[in-house]
Every structure is written in C-alpha cells, then in structure tokens.
Amino acid sequence: AVPLVTAISTTLGARNGLLIRDRRGLEEARNLDTVVFDKTGTLTLGAHRVVEIVAAQGKDPDVALSLAAAVERDSEHPIAQALLKSAEEKGIGLPPSSEFQSAAGKGVEALVEGRRFAVGGPALLRERTVTLDQNMENASRRIGENGQAAIYLLEGDVVLAVFAIADQVRPESRAAVAKLQSMGIEVIILTGDSEAVARSVGRDLGIETVFPGVLPDQKSDKIKELQAQGRRVAMVGDGVNDAPALVTADVGVAMGAGTDVAVEAGDVVLVRSDPRDIARIVTLSRATYRKMI
C-alpha cells in the first residue's frame, strides 16, 4: 500500500507541476535557506543564437563559422547548436570533420581538412598561451559587457575568430527569484560560464551571489562548501554536468525539459520547466509535513 502522505503529496505535487521522485527531498524542502541555480537552460532558455562574428585580421567570418560548426558537429551543447544553426541559416556548407573530442566546461576539438581546430570559451583560452589582436580583444570585452558568451575558434595558440553567442533569460525567472527571496531564501547562480555573463544575468534577476567558471566536476563541491557552512541547499539544474550537484544537494530539482541524466538525479522534477514552481515545492513541503506532526 502507498502511505497516505505519499499519495497526498504526489497528487498535490502533480497539481502544482511537480513530479516527486524522492519523498525525502520533498520533506527536506521546508528547511531550505539556499537555492542554487545552474544558469544555462535553467534560469535561461538555453536557446542560443550567434549574434556577431569577429574574425582575426585577414580571415573571413563565414569561413570561420563553417570551421567552428564543423568542429561542433557532434556536440550537443547549446553553443554548438547555435553555431550549427547559424551556418545552416546562412547556407554555409560544412567541411568534413573527424577525431571529435570534448573537454567538459571548456569546449571541443576536431580535425578539419587535416588541421586541428578547437572551439570553446574563456577556460579554453586560459589553457593555451594565446594572444588576441587589439580588434578581438575589444570585441571580447564588448561581448562580455553585453552579457553574451564569447566563444573562440582556435588553431593551436592562434585565435581565428570570436563569436558572440546570446541566450535569453526565461520570462518566469525574475518572479521565481523574487518569490524565493521573499520567503527568506538566498538565491545563488552556479555556472561554467564566465563571470561577466553570470553577473549580467544576476543583475537582471536581482541575484548578487554568483559562482562563475565552475567546471562540471566542481559543481557538487560548491554545494558541499555551502552545506559545510550549515546551509540547507537546493540545487536546480538541467544538464548532465549538473547531475552530481543535484544528488549532493539536500533537495535536487531538475528541469523537466532537461537531459535524462539530470531528471534521474533530481528528487523533484519541474514538469513545466517553470522555475516559479520551486517556491511551490517549499510551500507544499511545509504544508505536508506540518500536518503530519
């Protein structure tokens, strides 16, 4: 038989857009004081678009795009999807690529026409001793200030182009954050993305604390650090790279539209992928477990 409290919370959960996968997570939710959000695909739609291409001196932006898209062909990252879609929309064909490799939280590499190219963000740049010409240096700064991601096409240590890739904040995110804050819960952004992009989204949503540049295998360590401060922490995420942090958190919350790996790691799934439903978890938890005692 299904215990009554389980049946009730399951029904109420379903009515509130919540799929309760582990009841212990729901029970913990009433004690939360911190909610940590992944950024891409969670606070934002994860529907990225290429909005600008700045090629190095003497290089052609369309050729740079075709190379970058060829390198990204086998990647499922939203940034890869943006590059592939942009090439397709411009009717730019892709040269064949092979030996695809991905470095989590950094970027991807592949062999294109016998040359080895890499595509990735600031973490990839830091790994190599690259020099940006003045034009690309200025472009990088401007892209960051606009809250867009700067993604680089490299051959060895040479930067051939920088792409400005824009994401959009989910229309529901602002209300979701404000509601949690009004309940006395601190909201934090945890992301692999750069500090500039994280701060820009934070500014938009009224979130002061951001942990940027966190590599996938470090996300759960950040949750442990917060727990070591005595906090009760929920983690909200959508990606494969969020799964360990979802498991570590006191309450793991997965976006319904997220990857299977994330959904399976969550205690609670937001069926509608609406971040406003997180406050409902807390409310439901408080109501359910108050009645029990």
The catalytic residues are: 38
Say which entry of ligand ADP, Mg ion, none residue 179 contacts (CB below 5 to 8 A, set by partner kind).
Answer: none
Task: Build a one-symbol-per-residue string for 206-225: x at contacts with ligand ADP by CB under 6 A, - elsewhere.
Answer: ----------x---------
User: Where in 96-135 is the site for ligand ADP (CB under 6 A)?
Assistant: 105-108, 119-121, 123
- State both tokens at 164: 């400005």
Q: At what angle do helices 134-145 and 195-205 cross, to 10 degrees?
A: 30
Q: Which is nearer to ligand ADP, 20 or 68 (CB)?
A: 68
The residue range among 10-18, 73-81, 92-100, 175-183 that interacts with ligand ADP, by the rule CB under 6 A, is 73-81
Q: Which is nearer to ligand ADP, 28 or 193 (CB)?
A: 193
The residue range among 34-42, 149-157, 210-218, 277-285 that interacts with Mg ion, by the rule CB under 5 A, is 34-42
Asked whether position 192 contacts ligand ADP by CB under 6 A, the answer is yes
Query: What would the 3-class secondary structure string for the chain be?
Result: CCCHHHHHHHHHHHHCCEEECCHHHHHHHCCCCEEEEEHHHHHECCCCEEEEEEECCCCCHHHHHHHHHHHHCCCCCHHHHHHHHHHHHCCCCCCCEEEEEEECCCEEEEEECCEEEEEECHHHHHHCCCECCHHHHHHHHHHHHCCCEEEEEEECCEEEEEEEEECCECCCHHHHHHHHHHCCCEEEEECCCCHHHHHHHHHHHCCCEEECCCCHHHHHHHHHHHHHCCCCEEEEECCHHHHHHHHHCCEEEEECCCCHHHHHHCCEEECCCCCCHHHHHHHHHHHHHHHHC
The residue range among 5-13, 179-187, 216-224, 233-241 that interacts with Mg ion, by the rule CB under 5 A, is 233-241
> Closest Cα partner for 72 from 122, 123, 110, 99?
110
Instruction: Choose, by CB under 6 A, the member of 241, 248, 273, 288 that binds ligand ADP.
Output: 241
User: Where in 37-56 is the site for Mg ion (CB under 5 A)?
Assistant: 38, 40-41
Say which entry of ligand ADP, Mg ion, none residue 120 contacts (CB below 5 to 8 A, set by partner kind).
Answer: ligand ADP
The residue range among 9-17, 48-56, 76-84, 228-236 that interacts with ligand ADP, by the rule CB under 6 A, is 76-84
Asked whether position 212 contacts Mg ion by CB under 5 A, the answer is no
Asked whether position 167 contacts ligand ADP by CB under 6 A, the answer is no
Give the binding site for ligand ADP (CB under 6 A): 38-40, 72, 75, 77, 79-80, 105-108, 119-121, 123, 149, 151, 191-193, 216, 239, 241
Interface residues with Mg ion (CB under 5 A) are 38, 40-41, 238-239
